[in-house]
Amino acid sequence: MNLANVLHITFWPKQFLVGRFFMFDHTVRVRKSAEDFPLTEHLAHKIATVAADPVPVEQPVADMVVNRIIDNAAVAVASVLRRPVSSARAQALSHRVPEGGQGSTVFGVDAKVSPEWAAWANGVAVRELDFHDTFLAAEYSHPGDNIPAILAVAQHRGKDLGLGGAELIRGIATGYEIQVDLVRGICLHKHRIDHVAHLGPSVAAGLGTLLNLDVGTVYQAIGQALHTTTATRQSRKGLISSWKAHAPAFAGKMAIEAVDRAMRGEGAPAPIWEGEDGVIAWMLDGPEANYTVPLPEPDEPKRAILQTYTKEHSAEYQSQAPIDLARAMRKQLEQHGGGDLRGVLDQVESIVLHTSHHTHYVIGTGSGDPQKFDPTASRETLDHSVMYIFAVALEDGMWHHEKSYAPERAGRPETVELWKKVSTVEDPEWTRRYHSDDSDEKAFGARAVITLRDGTVFDEELAVADAHPLGARPFERADYIRKFRILAEGLVEDKEQDRFLEAAENTAELSAGELDQLTVTFSEDVLQRAPVIPRGVF
């Protein structure tokens, strides 16, 4: 063991586990090429060792994996008819199943394609509405992005390699573990690097677990995956386009290809994180940097998925608690006005959201993005405007994944007027709680101060969203199923909904060759409502 590695004790949310388990904090820094730096000390090798550890999956983790399979399907179903998803699906359908495998399913259609292209199409479908799970620490992430790629490979190679639901769950648990651990230890956005730079390595690690690959092969795959998925975060700044949904899908696709190359004996740049010309030296904190990445020690279960949280509302995660807070304050304003909510809203002088550094600078007025106040902005841009989101939630008392973003909704004159009165400020205490390691005080919320023209002030705060594990209404299996039913209504026939949910809830019992049940197919009549996509290169 490297003496720089420090024993770390992680405490988990009380509702999931009793007690504690041990992780090692691994120090990661730049190494000169002439320096004695054993391969076993490379971060990529340490991650590969975790991926290759055959430790059993604990039941709470397996149950949560099933929840997230359902959650991903729910948000994917709701986006199947949207243009970016239809475009990605059209690309995927141009790539037939390669020899030696069963192919992989694509949400919406009764067809199978090459696994990397299924990961692409399904990854875009999952991310399009910004409506699935999240983990926030030093960096940001949506760990559910691991699932499309790992499931696609499991479907394609399941029959000939004997991979069933139990192996799928193990692979997904690893994907979550590695992405969460990297997010806890290495900040990317400080240097304007997109968060999918942690996703490529985590998918590669998850595939290593799924396929039971040796440490050396996984090591090479992780290096290749990181090298090919590191990009700037302009995809989440300024004029935000549909690439925001494509970027994680691209990372999953690249990770599959990296694993394929590594399995064929091809190597990767190394050491990919620590090298003189590596990621840390030139893209992150530079030659003098020191990062600490926690990883489970040998024989410790992979539990990181239990620290992640899904969304009740289709919006950036830091907007979840503000939406719930706006709904609660709406009742106060309506009562103050004797039932005349509009009259009170018209008297608003200002709305100030006191919140964390991330919320202020990424989705708040600290970003300096005028597009966040533009009623003609894209859905992706409005999704990253907490000012718009708070104003609409305050007016409507609800949030809908389509109606709340509709151009006619964003363009209402009274909404635009209220929207422009909303601002954010960073509060050091909210920033501290955002980064806290104590799950009982970690917070992603805000304090809202609404001031009327006559001087009346409404001052309330909410630390976590209602659906958060520590929130007013924590999501449980029934909530994931309800979310799926709501989003599938009018798109998926009841019989198909029932079939998918039964398969998903029994994922652990699915045998090799049965993982293609973990998809949702639309009728031809519904698919006809999707936009016509012009042909591209393929």
The per-residue pLDDT for 6 is 38
Task: State the sign of the Cα–Cα–Cα–Cα dihedral 130, 484, 169, 472.
Answer: positive
Beta strand 446-452 with 348-355: parallel, antiparallel or unpaired?
Answer: antiparallel
**Nearest-angstrom CA–CA distance, 390 and 345:** 13
**Nearest-angstrom CA–CA distance, 317 and 311:** 7
**Nearest-angstrom CA–CA distance, 244 and 234:** 9
The region, left, alpha or beta by phi > 0 then psi within -120 to 50, assigned to residue 286 is left
Report yes or no: 446 and 321 within 8 Å, Cβ to Cβ: yes
Long-range contacts, stretch 514-518, CB < 8 angstroms, 24+ apart: 514/158, 514/164, 514/165, 515/151, 515/154, 515/155, 515/158, 515/163, 515/164, 515/165, 515/168, 516/102, 516/104, 516/105, 516/112, 516/155, 518/69, 518/73, 518/105, 518/151, 518/155
The per-residue pLDDT for 437 is 79
Q: What is the mean pLDDT of each run of 10 residues along the chain (538 residues)?
A: 36 42 87 95 98 97 98 98 97 94 97 98 96 92 97 97 98 98 95 95 98 98 97 79 90 98 97 96 94 95 95 93 97 96 97 96 95 94 96 96 95 97 98 88 95 97 94 95 97 98 98 97 97 95
In a 13 Å sphere around the CA of 346, the CA atoms on its Cβ side amount to 7
> What domains appear along the chain, each with residue ranges and CATH number?
24-310 (1.10.4100.10), 317-462 (3.30.1330.120)
Closest CA to 148 of 16, 128, 22: 128
Report yes or no: 116 and 94 within 8 Å, Cβ to Cβ: no
Angle 215-228/43-52 helices, nearest 10 degrees? Answer: 130
**pTM listed for this prediction:** 0.89
Closest CA to 419 of 508, 353, 334: 353
Closest CA to 196 of 230, 224, 152, 146: 230
Q: How many residues does the chain have?
A: 538
Here the tokens at position 178 are 């590695």
As a whole number of Å, the CA-based R_g of the chain is: 23
The per-residue pLDDT for 21 is 56
Angle (CA) 204 209 213, round 5°? 85
**Nearest-angstrom CA–CA distance, 84 and 62:** 31
Tell me the CA distances in angstroms from 31 to 2, 35, 153, 190, 271, one per residue in order.
Answer: 15, 6, 35, 22, 9
Alpha carbon 250 to its chain centroid, in Å, reads 14
Burial class (CB in 10 A: 0-12, 13-18, 19+), 406: exposed
Grouping H, G, I as helix, E, B as strand and the rest as coil, residue 279 is: helix
Q: How many helices (H) and strands (E) does the chain have?
A: 21, 11
DSSP class of residue 360 equals I
Report yes or no: 459 and 447 within 8 Å, Cβ to Cβ: yes
